[in-house]
Structure 1
Amino acid sequence: MTIRLRRRTAVAALATLAMLAAPAATAQALSGPAPASTTRELPRPTGPYPVGVEVLHLTDHDRADPWVPEAGDRELMVSVHYPARPAGPGATAPYISTEEAEVILARLQLGDDAPARLSSLATHSRTAAKTARGRFPLVLLSPGFGNPRATLTSLAEDLASRGYVVASVDHAYEAIGAAFPGGRILECAACDAAETAPDDAAEREVLESVATGRAADLSFVLDRLTGPRPAWTGSRVIDRRRVAAAGHSIGGSAAASTMLADRRVDAGINMDGTFFEEVPASGLGERPFMMLGTTSFHSPGGEDGSWDRGWRHLDGWKRWLGVEGSGHSSFTDIPVLEERLGVTLDPTVTISTDRQVRITRAYVAAFLDQHLRGHHRPLLDGPAPGNPEVVFNSP
């Protein structure tokens, strides 16, 4: 594993989140100034449905936590975003709690005087909102290593507004500052294990364990949302015959691992993540899979050879899309947070925040529409004049 790849996992994720929560003066001193946006909300969802959200605490009593065994059974926090009815009660959900932001700040000792800079960001999801009428496909979302599930909120809200139920997962001890019941804010023990690994082979073993462990987590979430005694009161609207797994960074690797382990998952998306459990020669059972990432790191013959090997083994419908000018975090909320807070974290990114958001939303939704709903989306057929940044690779 290269040093650059190491930085694209635990260190990069932790530093990015901590700097986003830091006071503007500190972040700008480290990364250079950027104009702050006058608005403090996530981009508005583009679909016809209002969005509701409910947070679930799930415990898998059949597995012990792999990173902190003394903690007991494996725990997960899940945000379920869903299509809602136009009217009804419900406050707008916070982006992230002040307590979670405080832990993010403390991790890198950047000070604790501005945790509200993250927690005050406005979302577009209402708590206690009634589910819309109908049956909707389910999308399981897994974030990058060290990142809380909140960093995929904008994508989750947009998909829910388009008619998807989206379950975004915090995997215990795999994210900085993830809040669990009882006032517990868990640290990233898995990040520490990767960072203290004695060599690259040992580090890769840790990261493969993360990917395969998350596959078990996502299958368990699927059980609890569609099983006989579902954990979510709105689960009746989920169409269990239409399920996808998607994720960013190691969460994208986990999406493929979930498909390998669970035939109930019909399609998958890897957003700029190395395949730590590589796609086997036998493929994914002819199920569709899309790889959406940077052109700087995930180009054919480029630095991450796992995408070349994975592409050869994918045996169903597949796309390998690169976004020119993007960075590793371009497929998450982080560019939006940078703009809102007046921070520049990755000076190599040349594409605007608006374009990063629009491209990610458009291509992820097109893939899901085509493969979970059976609606052909020409956007996936080849290069589009309206999206000149998107490169279709076919090595």
Structure 2
Amino acid sequence: MRQLLTVTVTTGLVVLAASACSAPTPPRAAAPPPTSTGPATLPAPTGAHPVATTVLHLTDTSRPDPWDPDLDARQLKVTLWYPTRQRDGHRAPYMTAKESELLLKGSNVASAPYDVLSKTRTNAVKDADPAGRGLPLVVLSPGFTKPVSTLTSLAEDLASRGYVVAGIDHTHESHATTLSDGRVAECLACDSDTDPGFGARVVQGRAADVSFVLDRLPSAWRHPGLIDRSRIAMAGQSIGGAGAVAAMIKDSRVRAGIDMDGTTYARIPTGGLARPFMFLGSREHVPGGRDTSWDRDWKRLTGWKRWLTLSDAEHQSFTDIPLLADVIGLEPLPGMLPAARGAELTRTYVAAFLDQHLKSQRQPLLEGPSPRYPEVTFCPATCGTPATPLPRTPGRRSGS
């Protein structure tokens, strides 16, 4: 039903695909030893600004936790990335050793020390003071069972380009979320993943999480003036991308959205969704392909829209997972988009979309195929539907 990190190890090949939490555990003896001689290092951000990061813990007392009936409030961990002037300082951890252990165990990976992902080198200075004022905000939502840290490379790059990024860990939908008191919440939702209507339930919950974070962020952080609340977008991978659709339907503050390779579940109203939206996916999401949800929703996107697919991309090509494959001791499938190229394409097209719709900067890259990025296909031509023309004066759009 939903798409998440499931790693199947067979003669050293890793398949990053759609599966269920209850998928059979692959034979661990078949996993090769790690090939990397040191910790993974995320690619450097491409923007002009150094990057900082901090963590907020927020509690929504207006609703119970949707996965734990014993909790009468919803606890969320929100990681912020933002521009700073500070270039030196302690780099933020990628995740804790316990989070690394639970993620790898939950994903059936046993080919490396369980704390290996906690040693990943990031680029953001921990808790540094921000630079700037009135910056656009981008909300990030990860795939099911994965922490938002698996989108760190994208988040750091956006922050270096002048965005504030708020990554939400949706508690009990990940293998590991560290709460404010140090307890680590595990994936309770994994017990329900075969229930009818599961996907719709998840994305509605994520939309509620997003609205709550937007409500609380100005008062919960000591730098509220850094964010321009009139310029907010959301991007997500897998069911996080589906959550972007649901959040835009629920909350008009989200002015633009991106779904990275996620089957959608929230139904767009018959009147359409007129705010800018972009599908960015793998070959599983070509028009008329295995997943038809994008075909359905494309017709109801009535504003600026793009449908892009990356040749040889896999489900995790839009995350950090391929960048970490060496230290986990896994090899990509032959012909798969190289990890560094996948990160470059994701960063480039996500930033172009956001620059156009949150910064009013026209992006020729979004007008059609580019010889610099031959892996990117503009699917409206394949669909037989003309691409939505760019507005003469690109800018922020309001919508339904």
Q: TM-score range by the shorter chain?
A: 0.7 to 0.9
- Map 1:168-187 onto structure 2 (within 5 A): 168-187=167-186
Instruction: Write the distance in 1 (CA, Å) between the matches of 2:335 and 2:144.
Output: 20
Residue 29 and residue 392 in structure 1: after superposition, are their counterparts in 2 closer, same or farther (change >3 A)?
farther
Instruction: Write the distance in 1 (CA, Å) between the matches of 2:34 and 2:110.
Output: 21
Residues 177-201 of structure 1 deviation map (CA, whole Å, 9 limit, x = unaligned): 1111222111111122114x3xxxx
Instruction: Write the distance in 2 (CA, Å) between the matches of 1:253 and 1:51.
Output: 28
Equivalent residue for 1:213?
A: 205
Q: Which amino acid aligns with 2:356?
A: Q
Would you say 1:304 and 2:296 are equivalent positions? no
Aligned residue pairs total 367
Instruction: Write the distance in 2 (CA, Å) between the matches of 1:169 and 1:32.
Output: 33
Residue 87 and residue 384 in structure 1: after superposition, are their counterparts in 2 closer, same or farther (change >3 A)?
closer
Q: What secondary structure, in the 3-state scheme, does the structure 1 residue paired with 2:70 have? A: helix
How far off is 1:33 after superposition? 7.5
Q: Identify which of 281, 298, 309 aligns with 1:293.
A: 281
- Percent sequence identity over aligned pairs: 47
How far off is 1:279 after superposition? 2.5
Residue 239 and residue 308 in structure 1: after superposition, are their counterparts in 2 closer, same or farther (change >3 A)?
same
How far off is 1:358 after superposition? 0.4
Q: Identify which of 203, 220, 223 aligns with 2:215.
A: 223
Instruction: Write the distance in 2 (CA, Å) between the matches of 1:327 and 1:162.
Output: 26
Q: Which amino acid aligns with 1:213?
A: G
- Map 1:1-395 onto structure 2 (within 5 A): 5=1, 8-9=3-4, 30=30, 35-36=35-36, 40-86=40-86, 90-107=89-106, 114-195=113-194, 197=195, 202=196, 205-226=197-218, 230-284=219-273, 286-295=274-283, 297-344=284-331, 346-347=332-333, 350-394=336-380, 395=383
How big is the alpha-carbon RMSD for the aligned residues of Structure 1 and Structure 2? 2.4
- Higher percent of residues as helix: 1
Instruction: Write the distance in 1 (CA, Å) between the matches of 2:334 and 2:262.
Output: 18
How far off is 1:39 after superposition? 6.1
Question: Would the aligned equivalents of 2:369 and 2:378 in 1 still touch at CA under 8 Å?
Answer: yes
Question: Would the aligned equivalents of 1:327 and 1:348 in 2 still touch at CA under 8 Å?
Answer: no
Residue 110 and residue 47 in structure 1: after superposition, are their counterparts in 2 closer, same or farther (change >3 A)?
closer
Structure 1, unpaired ranges of 5+: 18-25
Instruction: Write the distance in 2 (CA, Å) between the matches of 1:110 and 1:303.
Output: 27
Residues 241-260 of structure 1 deviation map (CA, whole Å, 9 limit, x = unaligned): 10001100000000011000
Instruction: Write the distance in 1 (CA, Å) between the matches of 2:77 and 2:334.
Output: 33
Residues 197-239 of structure 1 deviation map (CA, whole Å, 9 limit, x = unaligned): 3xxxx1xx1111100110010111111113xxx1111221101
Q: TM-score, normalised by structure 2?
A: 0.86
Question: Would the aligned equivalents of 1:271 and 1:291 in 2 still touch at CA under 8 Å?
Answer: yes
Residues 318-347 of structure 1 deviation map (CA, whole Å, 9 limit, x = unaligned): 000000000000000001011444412x51
How far off is 1:16 after superposition? 6.4
